Structure 1
Amino acid sequence: MPARARRLGLCTVQTPHLKLTMIYFSEKVSLQRQGYVTFTPRLLLVDLKGSLRHLRQEGDLYSHTEDVKPGEVHWPVEKVDVVCAPKEEKSEFLNDLENEENAMETAEALGTLPKVYNFDSAVNVWADYLRARYHPRTVSIINEYEHNGDTKPFDVFNYGADLWKTEQFQDDFIDRIRMYVEECDNIQGFHILLDGSDGFAGLGTSAVEYLEDEYSTKSKLVFPTIPSEFNNTTPLQDNMRILNIALGFHSVAEHSCLFVPLCLGSSGWKQPGVPREFPHLQYNSSLAYHSSAILAAALDTATLCYRLRTGTHTRLSEMTDTLSRLGRRVAVASLGLPFAMGYDAYLLDTLEKWEGPLWQTLSPGCNLQDDRIWIQSVVLRGVPEVRLRSAQRDGRMKQDTNPAYTCTSIQEMLSLFLSCCSYATASHVTSAYSPCNVTSPFPQIFSEFVGLDGSVSTEKRCETLGVYSVPAIAGLHSCRSAGDMLEALHLEVKKLQLKRFHYFCNSGLEEDEYQECLDHLALLRGCYHEEFDV
C-alpha cells in the first residue's frame, strides 16, 4: 500500500489463512479518484429510519454530496423555513478512527498495545461502533417505520412481507443483489442474518424466498436471531413475538438450505429466559452491544470451515447438505469463548484435564450438554500446531498406548477427543491458526483471569489492559434438541387464537396460512424423532 494511503488512515487487515481482505480508512476521501483499490464487505443490510445516526446511508467510503448549510439556501428567506437536525455526536472510538493521529494508529506505530474503549454507555445503535466502511449500495433504510418508534412499531411479520412486495423496495433491493452477484467469480451461497421476532422476519424471509427462486443452485444459510432480553413488554407483545418467530421459522424452513436460530436466552419464546453462562465471560444480557458481540464471534468462528484458504476446508453447500439430512433443516449453534487453555499449556494436556462441556449452546430451548448429536461441524481456532503436545510426551510416544500420541495435527486431536465423548456422532472438525480478534470495538467482557492473548490463568490481568485475541471453539449441530425446540415453539403457538391478534389479521394473514404454519412446524419436528436416527 502506498505511504500516502497509510497517512490517510488506511489500515489493511489481511489473514493469509482466510478468504478475507478488508481495508478500513478514516478520512472522507474518494479513493477511486486517487487510484487506490478499496475492499468492502459484500453486504446488504436493511434498517429503520433513525438507526444510522451520524452514518450516511451511502456511507463515507467515496465522495458524497455535501450537506446543505442554512445560509446557502437559494430560495427567498421569507418563503422557506429551514429546519436543521441536531448534529449527532460521535463516540471517542469513531473520532479516533477519523483522526490521522488516532490512538490506535499511534499504538501500532510504537509497538504498544491498542487503546481500550468503554462502549457500554456510549452505544445506542450499531453504527456507534462500526469500524468497517461499507459500499454505497450496502445500506437500505425503511422510511415508513422509525427506530424505537412507539406510534408505528415494525413488530408484525406481515409488515415486512408487505414491504417486500412494494415495487420501489423490491426492485431496488433486487438490483443490489444482482450487482453483487455479478461481481463474484464463484459464489458459494448466501448468509442471511435476520431479526426473527418482529417485522424483519417477514422482510428477511421474503428475501430468502426470492434467492431460492433466482439462485436455486446456491446455498442459503439463515440465522434468525432473538434478542437476549425484552424489557417492559405486555402479554400481547410477547404473544405477537411468538407468532413472528413461528411464521419466520415456517418460511425459512421452506426456502433455505439450513437455518440456525440464535439467542443468548435459554428459552427464547415469550421471554428469552435465563441468560447463558460462559465460565470466563462477564457480559450484560440487557445490552445488545454485548450479546451481539458474542453471537458475532460464534458466526465468525463456525463459518471458518468453508472460508479457509489453506488446510482442510469444505464448501458451504457441503456443510448445509450434511447438516440438513433427512429433512432436518434446523441446526443448533454453540460457542466456547475463550477456549480455556493456559499460557504455556498444550492441547493434549488441556483436553485430558477438561471438565464439563467444551461449549455453551446458543440456540433457544436447546441444551447440547446431554444431547443426542447426529452430525456436527466444529471449528477450533487460535491454537497453533506447536501447542499440540509437549516434547517430553513425544519422547514417550512409542511406549504409550494412548492413541492421542499418534495425532499429528490439531484437527486429528480434537476429532479423536470428540469421538471419545460423543456416541455415534459424525464430526467434521476444522482447525484455524488465527485466533478471534477481540480488540475494540469488541466489548471487554472477559473475566480478569483471561490474559491479553486469551489464555486462562490464576493471576489477574492488569485492570488497564484489555484482551486482544482469544482462542475459540464453535459448532453447528444436527441434534435431537433441535426437535425439542420446534416442539416447544409449536405448543406455544398452538395455544394462540389468530382472530385475537388484529394487527396480523388486518395485515393480511389468513387462518389457512396460520394453520399451514402450525402443520409445517409439527412436520419439521417429526424429522427429529429417534426412528430417523443416522
Structure 2
Amino acid sequence: MREILTLQLGQLANFVGTHYWNAQEAYFNYGNDTKPDLLDHDVLYRAGKTPTGIETYTPRVLIYDLKDCFGSLQKYNRLFESEESTKIAWDGGVNTITTKTYEKNPYQQQLDRMEEDPSHTDMDVDAVDKLDHTVKVWSDFNRIYYHPRSMNPIVTHQAESTLTPFDSYTAGRKAYTDNEKVGLFAAQEETSIFEDNFRFFVEECDQLQGFQIFTGVDDAMGGFTEGLLDDIRDEFPKTTVLTYGLSDTTRNPSAERARQKETLNRAFSIARLTKLSSLYVPLYTPTPKRMAYSSRSPYIHPKSHKAYQYELMYHTSAILSTAIETASLPYRLKKNGTSLSEMVSRLNWHGNTYVGGLESVLPLPIVRTGYNDTLETNNVLPIIDHSAPSLSVLADKKKEETFGEYIVTRGLPSFDSRYFVDLAYPLIDSYPRFFSSNISQDGLLTPYTNSEPPRSVPTLTRLATGSKVRLGMEHRIESINSISFSDFFEFSEGENGFGREDYLEMKEDMITLSDSYSCDEDM
C-alpha cells in the first residue's frame, strides 16, 4: 500500500477537511454498482476492527482543534461505542467539570434517524436547505465516522477566550508543548498529541508515502503545527510533507493591530513551516472580488439555487476543499497515477522552490456537445488563484515562468476524457448549493434553467511553482516591513517566544524564498 496520513489543524482546516472526507464517501461503490473504482481508497483510509470484532474502514487522519470547537462530535461514536467501555479505569482522583452540551445540528439529527431506521433512506430536504443558516462548526455537516484516535482536542485553550487568547504564533508553540504535558498526566481521557495517536496511525502503515497537512495560519495554529512538524521531522526526516497553509480572508479584523498580528502569524507560518515541509501551499478563502477576477461569477454567484456567501466558512471552505481534493487525485489513482513524493519533486526540482500555488476552475464550463464547442463561445477559463495574497497580485498580468506544474482535469464527457480523470467532483447533500441554475445535474452548462441542483461538476486544478510565487512573496515582505514588531509583546513572552533576532531571521527567510523564484530577466 501507499499510505498517506492527513493532519487537520484549526477551524478552517477542519471545515476544509470535513468537505474533503464527505466527498470520499461518494466514491465508494455499494451493492450492485458495477462502476469500477478509479481511486485506491487505501491511500487515505485504514481497515481495522473494534474490540468486539466489527470490521471498520475509517479515514487515516488526525484532527486537531480547540476543545470547544468539536461541536456535537464525540470521540467514541456509534461505530466504536464498545471501545469506550473498555477504557482503563483511573484511580488517581477525578475532578468533575460540567460543560454545556452542544445541541446536534438538524442535519446530524436526520443522519441519526436514517441510520436507526434503514427504511428511511432519503435525507430531509429542509435539513439540507437550512445548512447555510445552521452550520456553526465543522462537525455540523460531517458525514463520517472517525476512529477515536483521530480526535485530538487542544485542552489548554478555548475559542474566543480573553484570558488565554489563541491568537499569536508563539502561543501556538507554547500550546503544543503544554498539551503534550497534559496528555502525559491526564486521567486517561486525553492522550499525548504526538506520542500516542500519531504513532498509532503511522506504525500500522506498510509503505507510508507521506503526510498531507491542512492548517490554519491566521492565529496560533501555525505555531502549534510547527511543534507537531518538528516532532514528525525527528522521526521522518526524508518523508514527503505537503502542507496547505489556510487563511480566512473574511476575518478582516477592524482594528489595525489585529490585522497586523494576523499578518505576522501568516509570515511566521510561511517562513518556518516551509523549512519543515517538502512543499508549502498558501491558500486564501475566495471573496467576491477574488471571484470576480476569475470570471467565475456567472457559474456560482448570481442565478444560483442558493447564492454563494463569502462570509460563511461553510461555503468558502467548500471551494478550497474541492481544489485540494482534485489536486490530490494523481497520488490516489489506482492506475496511471503518481506518488506524493514524485509529484512534489517535479514541482520543486530546483531544490529551493518550497512554496507552490494552487488554482482551480469550479465548475469547468462544459456544454453537453463537448469542450471544443464550449471554447467557441467562451475561450477564457474562469480560473481563480487561491494562493495570491492580495488583489494587486491577482491583477498583475506579467507572464508567468513555470518551473513545475500538475494540471488535473476531471469529469469531462467521455469523448473528451482520454487524458483526464473520468470522475467528476461529487456534490453530496452536505455541499453548499451555490451553483448557477444553468448547470445541469451532471454539471454541464445548459441554455435553460434547471430545477434541480447539480449532483457533480467537472473541475480543473493547477498546482504549480513559478515566477508568480515571487509576486506573492514580495507582497508579504512589503506587508511585514510596515509593522513594528516591538509593539507585539505577546510574540516574545515565555520560553517559546521570539526575540528581535527571530523576527529578522523570518524576514530574511522570506527574502530568500522570494529570490528562489527569480527569472533570468530579473537577474
Question: What is the CA–CA distance in structure 2 between the aligned matches of 1:441 and 1:513, rounded to whole Å?
Answer: 43
Q: Give the equivalent residue in structure 1 for 2:504.
A: 515
Q: Does 1:142 align with 2:154?
A: yes
Question: What is the CA–CA distance in structure 2 between the aligned matches of 1:449 and 1:509, rounded to whole Å?
Answer: 53
- Conserved? CA contact 2:107–2:128, under 8 Å: no
Q: Give the equivalent residue in structure 2 for 1:255.
A: 276
Question: What is the CA–CA distance in structure 1 between the aligned matches of 2:118 and 2:434, rounded to whole Å?
Answer: 20
Q: Give the equivalent residue in structure 2 for 1:42.
A: 60
Structure 1 residue 213, shift from structure 2 partner: 2.5
Q: Give the equivalent residue in structure 1 for 2:175.
A: 163
Pick aligned residue for 1:410 from 410, 418, 423: 418
- Conserved? CA contact 1:301–1:473, under 8 Å: yes
Secondary structure of 1:380 counterpart:
strand
Q: Which amino acid aligns with 1:228?
A: T
Structure 1 residue 169, shift from structure 2 partner: 5.7
1:292–1:460 CA distance, 2 compared to 1 (3 A)? same
Question: What is the CA–CA distance in structure 1 between the aligned matches of 2:401 and 2:466, rounded to whole Å?
Answer: 4
Q: Does 1:309 align with 2:358?
A: no
Of 175-184 and 86-95, the range deviating more from structure 2: 86-95
Secondary structure of 1:229 counterpart:
coil
Structure 1 residue 141, shift from structure 2 partner: 1.1
Structure 1 residue 42, shift from structure 2 partner: 0.7
Q: Which amino acid aligns with 2:300?
A: L
- Conserved? CA contact 2:401–2:519, under 8 Å: no
Q: TM-score, normalised by structure 2?
A: 0.79
Q: Which amino acid aligns with 2:177?
A: K
Q: Which amino acid aligns with 2:61?
A: L
Q: Which amino acid aligns with 2:74?
A: R
| Structure 1 residues 193-204: aligned runs within 5 Å | 193-204=214-225
Structure 1 residue 233, shift from structure 2 partner: 3.0
Pick aligned residue for 2:202 from 181, 188, 192: 181
Q: Does 1:379 align with 2:433?
A: no
Q: Does 1:340 align with 2:365?
A: yes
Secondary structure of 1:372 counterpart:
coil
1:355–1:106 CA distance, 2 compared to 1 (3 A)? farther
Q: Which amino acid aligns with 1:320?
A: V
Structure 1 residue 516, shift from structure 2 partner: 0.4
- For residues 320-375 of structure 1, what are the alpha-carbon distances to aligned partners after superposition, in whole Å with 9 as ceiling and x for unaligned? 11112321111110111111112x22233334544223521111334397541412
Question: What is the CA–CA distance in structure 2 between the aligned matches of 1:232 and 1:511, rounded to whole Å?
Answer: 25
Percent of aligned positions that are identical: 24
- Conserved? CA contact 1:96–1:102, under 8 Å: no
Pick aligned residue for 2:141 from 112, 121, 129: 129
1:105–1:446 CA distance, 2 compared to 1 (3 A)? farther
| Structure 1 residues 97-112: aligned runs within 5 Å | 97-100=111-114, 106=120
Q: Give the equivalent residue in structure 1 for 2:71.
A: 53
Structure 1 residue 275, shift from structure 2 partner: 3.7
Q: Does 1:96 align with 2:93?
A: no
Q: Give the equivalent residue in structure 2 for 1:466.
A: 453
Question: What is the CA–CA distance in structure 2 between the aligned matches of 1:231 and 1:472, rounded to whole Å?
Answer: 29
Q: How many residues align?
A: 454
1:158–1:87 CA distance, 2 compared to 1 (3 A)? closer
Secondary structure of 1:467 counterpart:
coil
Secondary structure of 2:73 counterpart:
coil
- For residues 233-291 of structure 1, what are the alpha-carbon distances to aligned partners after superposition, in whole Å with 9 as ceiling and x for unaligned? 3111101111111111111221111011111357xxxxxx9443423112211110001
Question: What is the CA–CA distance in structure 1 between the aligned matches of 2:126 and 2:406, rounded to whole Å?
Answer: 34
Pick aligned residue for 2:300 from 269, 273, 281: 281
Secondary structure of 2:206 counterpart:
coil
Of 85-94 and 292-301, the range deviating more from structure 2: 85-94
Q: Give the equivalent residue in structure 2 for 1:364.
A: 388
Q: Does 1:13 align with 2:28?
A: yes
Q: Give the equivalent residue in structure 2 for 1:269.
A: none
| Structure 1 residues 413-492: aligned runs within 5 Å | 431-462=420-451, 465-492=452-479
Question: What is the CA–CA distance in structure 2 between the aligned matches of 1:23 and 1:249, rounded to whole Å?
Answer: 29
Question: What is the CA–CA distance in structure 2 between the aligned matches of 1:81 and 1:181, rounded to whole Å?
Answer: 33
Question: What is the CA–CA distance in structure 1 between the aligned matches of 2:454 and 2:218, rounded to whole Å?
Answer: 33
Q: Give the equivalent residue in structure 2 for 1:228.
A: 249
Question: What is the CA–CA distance in structure 2 between the aligned matches of 1:347 and 1:89, rounded to whole Å?
Answer: 47
Question: What is the CA–CA distance in structure 1 between the aligned matches of 2:453 and 2:345, rounded to whole Å?
Answer: 40
- Conserved? CA contact 2:326–2:461, under 8 Å: yes
Of 521-530 and 90-99, the range deviating more from structure 2: 90-99
1:140–1:297 CA distance, 2 compared to 1 (3 A)? same
1:349–1:493 CA distance, 2 compared to 1 (3 A)? same
Q: Which amino acid aligns with 2:418?
A: I
Pick aligned residue for 1:291 from 310, 316, 327: 316
Structure 1 residue 177, shift from structure 2 partner: 1.6
Q: Give the equivalent residue in structure 1 for 2:21.
A: none
- Conserved? CA contact 2:113–2:120, under 8 Å: no
1:81–1:263 CA distance, 2 compared to 1 (3 A)? closer
1:341–1:116 CA distance, 2 compared to 1 (3 A)? farther
1:60–1:50 CA distance, 2 compared to 1 (3 A)? farther
Q: Which amino acid aligns with 2:381?
A: P
Q: Give the equivalent residue in structure 2 for 1:355.
A: 379
Structure 1 residue 81, shift from structure 2 partner: 12
Question: What is the CA–CA distance in structure 2 between the aligned matches of 1:306 and 1:488, rounded to whole Å?
Answer: 32
- For residues 141-169 of structure 1, what are the alpha-carbon distances to aligned partners after superposition, in whole Å with 9 as ceiling and x for unaligned? 11221123344320010111122233426
- For residues 77-131 of structure 1, what are the alpha-carbon distances to aligned partners after superposition, in whole Å with 9 as ceiling and x for unaligned? xxx999864443222221121114689974579xx99984331110110011111
Q: Give the equivalent residue in structure 2 for 1:402.
A: none
Question: What is the CA–CA distance in structure 2 between the aligned matches of 1:448 and 1:382, rounded to whole Å?
Answer: 19
Structure 1 unpaired stretches of 5+: 1-9, 25-29, 67-79, 267-272, 389-408, 412-430
Secondary structure of 1:260 counterpart:
strand
Q: TM-score, normalised by structure 1?
A: 0.78
Secondary structure of 2:205 counterpart:
coil
- Conserved? CA contact 1:455–1:470, under 8 Å: yes
1:100–1:151 CA distance, 2 compared to 1 (3 A)? same
Structure 1 residue 13, shift from structure 2 partner: 2.4
- Conserved? CA contact 2:406–2:464, under 8 Å: yes
CA RMSD for the aligned pairs? 3.1
Question: What is the CA–CA distance in structure 2 between the aligned matches of 1:31 and 1:215, rounded to whole Å?
Answer: 27
- Conserved? CA contact 1:357–1:369, under 8 Å: no
1:532–1:257 CA distance, 2 compared to 1 (3 A)? farther
Question: What is the CA–CA distance in structure 2 between the aligned matches of 1:377 and 1:102, rounded to whole Å?
Answer: 44
